[in-house]
Structure 1
Amino acid sequence: MSEVADKVEKLSVKDNKGQDNKGQSKKKDKKQSQQSSSPLYLEPQPAFLEERIKFFDELKAKYDAEIATREKKPIKITLKDGSVKEGTSYETSPMDIANSIGKSFAERQVISKVNGTLWDMPRPLEGDASLEFLDFEHPEGKAVFWHSSAHILGESCECHYGCHLSHGPPTDDGFFYDMSINDGTTFVNQADFGSLETIATKAIKEKQKFERLEMTKEDLLKMFHYNKYKVQFISDKIPDGTSTTVYRCGPLIDLCVGPHIPHSGRIKAFKVLKNSSSYFLGDAKNDSLQRVYGISFPDKKLMTEHLQFLKEAAERDHRKIGREQELFYFNDVSPGSAIWLPHGTRIYNTLVDTLRYEYRKRGYEEVITPNMYSTKLWETSGHWQNYKENMFSFEVEKETFGLKPMNCLSEDMRIQTDKGFLFLSEIESNWKDVNFATYDPESKSIKYSKASNFIVKDAANHQMVEFSNYDLAKADGKSGISLLVTEDHDMYVQQNPQSGEAPFSKVPARELVQKDADYGFLVVADESGSSSDAFAKTSLNSNTEVKTVGEYHGRVWCVTVPTGLIIAHRVHRGADGNITNASKPVVIGNCPGHCILFKSRERSYRELPWRVADFGVLHRNEFSGALSGLTRVRRFQQDDAHIFCTPDQIGTEIAGVFDLLKKMYDIFGFEFKMELSTRPEKYVGDIETWNAAEKKLESALDEFLGKGKWELNPGDGAFYGPKIDIMISDALRRWFQCATIQLDFQLPSRFELEYRSESNSATERPVMIHRAILGSVERMTAILTEHYKGKWPFWLSPRQILIVPVSPKYYDYAEKLKKLFNDEHFFYCDVDVSGNTLPKKVRSGQLMQYNFIFIVGAEEEENYGVNIRNRDIPEEQGKNPMVGVDSVIKSLIKLREEKRSDNKL
């Protein structure tokens, strides 16, 4: 019998006909705690399993035979430390090199990197190469490990359900697999998790090898004919006449570019975490699929720690605590806009008031600016050309207005392939068959693929998003975007796209831009403006053909250039008609308003630095599926501030921002780290100004943290100025970026900002510093909720004091104290006059996380005192010595003013 047949035990999968996920939710909940009634393996086995393996074995034998005929040559392998190993092409593998270093070393490595490209450890090298090894702690190693684990999950699901798999990628915290079971009539139940884990454990013990095989499109369609989802992937994403790879582990064979771990035995701990539903290709018009999430580790101890982390994170979830403490809620009438309840509003206002107090001490002036502006302002700032799809806009008296958007215009979307990067412009969810041409250095040929075949990095949200199901008009497979930028920023340029040979030459990108070459260079503008001028021609080749909006549908344009180089790039047309790059983050939402404030009258150097703060409301038109509690919303406020200063004042102002940042983060109890990003290859302004600014930032960081205690990120600054990013760590050691400090040489130029110089005979351009400490107040509230686990420090607590009278006869005394605490000293104090017993009242106050519970009875009333129970001191939960009210008030005022987190009087 076959390998699959050996695994089969008798049974059929239980069918839930006529139920969708919503309809079955109540029945499903009752079954959650039960064991799965389905046997471990589906019987009879689906015919496709055996057919698939048989076909794979046939093709693999041919492939291995072909590889065996290739000429074996001596090669040199250069390791990361500079040492050189000898090897033989098509024989020596990275695994061989790792084993030569040491067996334990080799076993710790997840994946290798050959000439900068991820490479299967057992796969033979094909020539001289640089070689690097990545373990599980490396981000790329972790992604490969979890990708391979997703295949093990897919194998388990096929064996247990006989399902048709869709896709199964790694995520930031594990992996998942989407599938259809019995044509969508059967649903995953939590009771199935144990069975899936059992099958996965068996596969892991078998140390199933991950085998790579390159297949043609025709063979792929034949192999996966039974699975309509794979057929659609293959048909849409793999151009005719090309090939891609599949990987096999045990009975599973899946369409995948890889690479993978050497074998399943590297996985030492595997767990199924949860399930949900999804739509094929993320489109609600498509089939509803079942999604199963999992996690895995190369060490069982790591799994134990992770599960404890998940448990703790769930208990700290700000959505759970927000519900329990009645802080905020959301309603479908305004998705993504938090409705702050009274106690949540107390936290919100305290955070803002704390910053306002610091602002007044530090010379900031707070302003209030409009929520909406004419698009004329957004065009000047660069928002409208690059960001309008994420803005809420509307028409008033035949003029278009836009609500202030969130901070940032994202960088050019970078499409990462296994050969390098493709760049394109706006990414939207309505593309389909756009072809992209990439150069394959191995075969020295062009390969075409669909846009949906790539993973796109959204720089604004710092997450990986897969885009698919596009409906843009089809592009000619011989044109498309034929720009490939490798990691060293070189370009492969097709000089003669009409010839069958398709020769390429490798040209540094900056050379192409800076010299008068024969290569066509086209910058594609945004959709704004009339169709006749929507594209601007800035080509180095005067014969470049420029197409306009009317000739294509969509926001990314496939424009033919005679010499073959095509760049889709976001740009901005300035007031002078020239094109200026606006592809990197440009402005925070309040920036344009502050610029027009600066420009509202003549300014003198004596007024600088001018520090202006704004808590204005911002909006971002997020997709509904991306909304998540307070961390991803449509309406929010930022502690947005800008400093307009002279170049000589940069160092002093940055030091002032550092001091404010440390003050606030010390109060919260956050650890933080800082990173300086410097001048990129393309930038605005003169290099002397950049160098001087970077030097001042470096000096400020050295003085603030000490030399060597901050990170340098060369070339990653925005094109308009260097920046400092600040990451904070919460109680669970999770890192978040909230604060940012950004120098801007661009926006003052766009708005033509000037001040009268000291000589009074000339005007000069100010430098603009963007800065935020909290970032979004909503997001910071979420982080703090989870950081404190709902146990708010006294100064920030929405429930500071609960007075509990021991009987109704002491209600009046309790109410008298409440009035004193609230009205005269502005504490948040409540009285429990319910009919509950004393222990129940105390317990209720503890659950709502009151910092202090004051018990009052005969002794307390007679002596004008209270009996204190401190939330954070277990030994003070019983009866304690009475304390006088006046003494308590002094201690509470001191605790609030010092903003301590220890809750000790």
Structure 2
Amino acid sequence: MIIRNIGIRRCTRRLLSTNIRDESSTNTNHAISNKQLLYTTDAASPGSIFFLPHGTRILNKLIQFMKNQQIKYGFQEVVTPLIFKTKLWKKSGHWDNYKDDMFKVVGFDMSKEEIPHESIEEHEYGLKPMNCPSHCMIFAKFDRSYNELPVRYSDFSSLHRNEASGALSGLTRVRRFHQDDGHIFCNVSHIDQEIKNTLDLIKNTYGVFGINEVEYYLSTRPDKYIGEIATWDEAETQLKKVLDASTETGSWQIREGDGAFYGPKIDVLLTDAFDKKHQVGTIQLDFQLPKRFDLKYVAEDGSRNNQPILIHRAVFGSLERFFAILLDHYQGKWPFWINPRQAVIIPINESHIEKAEELQRKLCGDIINSQDEISPLTGFNFHVDVDKRAATVGHRTKEAIQSGYSYIILIGDKDIANGTFSIRSRDDRKVSNLTGEEIYHKFIDLERSYQ
């Protein structure tokens, strides 16, 4: 009894410590967000994030970054519906194994349905908690050949999961979120390379953000699962083999019974600035959904009943959660390439405002500076503001640093006479004198090198 009580006290201390870390992380995120106007929430939609303009800039940068990486690895982006009929979720197995974490949707006016007298099942829908069934549907719509494999789909659609209201926490535990979701339809011979590619992408992506402490876990068959045990054993063996062979994962651990209901998975965990672990990336091997959706492809020998294997994978995982990790990681001091406030121009007095706005147009790029009626699709376009308030230069500079601008550019009489601008970073008082063209190319170099 004494030992048990000590254990309880230790457990209680751990739980309290975890809650304190969670609360500290959430409070820090809120404080930075409120200061930089990144996101907000509202009781009208609990567990859903309202990204404000500057937060949306960061979110869009993360998405565009990952879209470019997906292209490099052969993914094709698709856009899929938000709701599906209950019968689809029953077919995929989610209704029996995941419905408690789903949102059910039913129209109020049944007369709007094609056949209003049909059973309620025909009019009952579920908000999608993941994209895999819809990607299986796309694969099944067309005749497939072995020489098309692997087929790789990516999807950034919003997802909904009915988390308990008491578990909701800032950006890290939400009900509506976005995921850099990807699904690979392949055969057995492709598995090793596809998983290795994903592990490479995970390591390289996190490295861009200066995150190098990454943990890998193999999550095995849970108590509630679909399919045959022999199939599960085969899938777990495949994942163990790849983990052992990969130099990216180093030593890895097993989490018994923590796999998805349809297959084992590799989970990737990061530790935030408060020593709290977050699951981000995941790689899941699935023999079940292809079988349930009767997916087939024609093999090299002409046989038609060949079932592909499905690999689920994400690198960021929940973009909202990864956003929170970056908030902790950078403490609001965003690298230039992802910063929603990349530079501010401070004219010394009113006579310098015109030159300041001219430079702003140049640095903001073709979208603002275009002489055409329609702005171009591509180009380097930076987030640059002009602070033309009547406050002193020192006060405006101090506020710019506090607001998180990467660079402060000053314009005075001497700068205009020399055809240059005085530029300094937020972390270094050293001032350089550069032309507008030199500043623009400096910014291009910073963005290209993810600095």
Give the alignment's TM-score, normalised by structure 2.
0.86
Does residue 814 (structure 1) correspond to residue 356 (structure 2)? The answer is yes
Partner of 2:31: 320
- Pick from 85, 88, 91: which aligns with 1:374? 85
* Equivalent AA in structure 1 for residue 199 of structure 2: F
Work out whether 1:669 is the aligned partner of 2:210.
yes
Rounded Cα–Cα distance in structure 1 between residues aligned with 2:11 and 2:233: 42
Is residue 753 of structure 1 aligned with residue 295 of structure 2?
yes
Where 1:795 maps in the other structure, the secondary structure is helix
> Residue in 1 aligned with 2:10?
145
Within a 5 Å distance, the mapping from 1:337-352 to structure 2 comes to: 337-352=48-63
Task: Provide the rounded CA distance (Å) in 2 between the counterparts of 1:734 and 1:713.
Answer: 18
What's 2:447 paired with?
A: 896
CA distance in 1, matches of 2:250, 2:210: 23
Q: Does 1:847 align with 2:390?
A: no
1:859 to 414, 427, 430: 414
SS at match of 1:654: helix
Instruction: Give the counterpart letter for 2:363 in structure 1.
Output: F
SS at 1:763 equivalent? coil
Residues 456-514 of structure 1 show CA distances to partners (whole Å, capped at 9, x for unaligned) of: xxxxxxxxxxxxxxxxxxxxxxxxxxxxxxxxxxxxxxxxxxxxxxxxxxxxxxxxxxx
Check conservation: 2:200, 2:248, Cα contact below 8 A.
no
How much has 1:690 moved relative to structure 2? 4.9
Higher strand share: 1
Counterpart of 2:184? 643
- Contact 1:685–1:720 (CA<8 Å) still a contact in 2? no
How many Å apart are 1:787 and its aligned residue? 1.3
TM-aligned CA deviation for residue 366 of structure 1: 0.4
| Distance apart, 1:707 and its partner CA | 8.5
**Contact 1:731-1:788 at 8 Å conserved across structures:** no
Cα distance between partner residues in 1 of 2:414 and 2:281: 51
377-386 vs 394-403, which deviates more?
A: 394-403
Output aligned runs, 1:218-237, within 5 Å: none
1:614 to 155, 158, 167: 155
CA contact (8 A) 1:804 1:853 kept: yes
Indicate which of 433, 436, 439 corresponds to 1:882. Answer: 433
Q: Deviations over 1:876-896 (max 9, x none)?
A: 3xxx24223222222211111
Give the letter for the 1:897 counterpart.
Answer: R
Structure 2 CA distance for aligned equivalents of residues 700 and 343 of structure 1: 40
Distance 2:389 2:208 in 1: 36
Q: Once structures 1 and 2 are overlaid, which stretch shifts more, 613-622 or 672-681? A: 672-681
User: How far 1:700 moved relative to its partner?
Assistant: 2.5
Letter in 1 for 2:398: R
For 1:738, the equivalent position in structure 2 comes to: 280
Quote the residue 2:372 is aligned against: none
Q: Answer with 1 or 2: which has the greater Rg.
A: 1
The one of 32, 44, 68 aligned to 1:357: 68
Alpha-carbon spacing, 1:663–1:894, altered in 2? closer, same or farther (3 Å): same
CA RMSD of aligned residues (A): 2.7
Determine the structure 1 residue equivalent to 2:385. 830
CA 1:316 to 1:868, structure 2 compared with 1: closer, same or farther past 3 Å? farther
Map 1:138-537 → 2, pairs under 5 A: 141=7, 144-145=9-10, 147=12, 171-173=15-17, 313=24, 317-396=28-107, 397=113, 398=116, 399-406=122-129
Q: Give the letter for the 1:830 counterpart.
A: D
C-alpha contact 2:401 2:426 (8 A) present in aligned 1: yes
- Label 1:321 to 1:851 Cα distance change in 2 as closer, same or farther (>3 A): same
Q: Mapping of 1:11-30 within 5 angstroms?
A: none
Residues 804 and 838 in structure 1, CA contact (< 8 A), matched pair in contact too:
yes
Residue identity opposite 2:206 in structure 1: Y
SS at match of 2:346: strand
Deviations along 1:556-611, one digit per CA (max 9) or x if unpaired, are xxxxxxxxxxxxxxxxxxxxxxxxxxxxxxxxx11110111111111111111111
1:388 maps to a residue whose letter is K
Shift of 1:327: 0.9
Superposed CA deviations along residues 422-458 of structure 1, whole A, max 9, x for unmatched, are xxxxxxxxxxxxxxxxxxxxxxxxxxxxxxxxxxxxx
2-side partners of 1:863 and 1:760: how far apart?
74
Offset, 1:394: 2.7
Separation (CA, whole Å) in 1 of partners of 2:287 and 2:232:
9
Equivalent residues of 2:18, 2:276 under 8 A apart: no
Contact 1:404 1:618 in 2 (8 A): yes
Question: 2 CA distance for matches of 1:717 and 1:831?
Answer: 51
Measured in 1, the distance between the counterparts of 2:183 and 2:304 equals: 24
Q: Deviations along 1:612-669, whole A, 9 cap, x unmatched? A: 0001111123444433322222222111111111012110110111111112111122
Cα 1:722–1:353 shift into 2, 3 Å: same
Q: Aligned to 1:789, which of 300, 322, 331?
A: 331
Task: Give the counterpart letter for 1:368 in structure 2.
Answer: V
Distance 1:705 1:790 in 2: 33
Which of residues 199, 204, 210 is equivalent to 1:658?
A: 199
**Counterpart code for 1:889:** Y
Native 8 Å contact 2:186 2:310 kept in 1: yes
Distance in 1 of aligned mates of 2:22 and 2:134: 43
Q: CA separation in 2, counterparts of 1:364 and 1:639?
A: 11
1:632 aligns with 2:183: no
Deviation at 1:174? 6.7
- Partner-residue secondary structure (3-state), 2:106: strand
* Aligned length, in residue pairs: 424
Aligned match of 2:110: none
- Once the two structures are TM-superposed, the CA of residue 767 in structure 1 deviates from its matched residue by 0.9
Q: 1:819 and 1:804 mapped to 2: Cα distance? A: 14
How far apart are 1:314 and its partner, in Å? 6.0
Unaligned stretches of 5+ residues in structure 1: 1-92, 94-110, 113-118, 122-140, 150-169, 176-294, 296-308, 407-588, 901-905
The separation in 1 between residues aligned to 2:249 and 2:30, in whole angstroms, is 40
Q: Deviations over 1:708-729 (max 9, x none)?
A: 6222345654464321111112
Out of 806-815 and 321-330, give the one that drifted further: 321-330
Residues 314 and 758 of structure 1: CA distance in aligned 2, closer, same or farther (over 3 Å): closer
The offset of 1:765, in angstroms, is 1.1
Q: Which residue of 2 aligns with 1:801?
A: 343
Q: Provide the rounded CA distance (Å) in 2 between the counterparts of 1:706 and 1:815.
A: 48
Cα deviation 1:62-115 (Å, max 9, x = unaligned): xxxxxxxxxxxxxxxxxxxxxxxxxxxxxxx9xxxxxxxxxxxxxxxxx75xxx
Give the structure, 1 or 2, with the largest relative contact order (CA under 8 Å, sep 6 or more): 2
Q: Call closer, same or farther: CA 1:652–1:339 in 2, change over 3 Å.
A: same
In the other structure, the counterpart of 2:425 is 870
1:595 corresponds to: 136
1:339 and 1:749, CA in 2 relative to 1: closer, same or farther beyond 3 A? Answer: same
Higher helix share: 2
Whichever residue aligns with residue 383 of structure 1, its letter is: H
SS of equivalent residue, structure 2 residue 338: coil
CA distance in 2, matches of 1:677, 1:625: 26
Alpha-carbon distance in structure 1 between the residues aligned to 2:29 and 2:415: 37
The amino acid across from 2:365 in the alignment is: D
Contact 2:216 2:249 in 1 (8 A): no
- Cα deviation, residue 802, structure 1: 0.4
Q: What one-letter code is carried by the residue in structure 2 that aligns with 1:836?
A: A
- Work out the CA distance in 2 between the residues paired with 1:590 and 1:343: 28
TM-fit CA distance, 1:146? 5.6
Q: Say yes or no: does 1:727 pair with 2:269.
A: yes
**Structure 2 spans left out of the alignment, 5+ residues:** 108-112, 117-121, 367-379
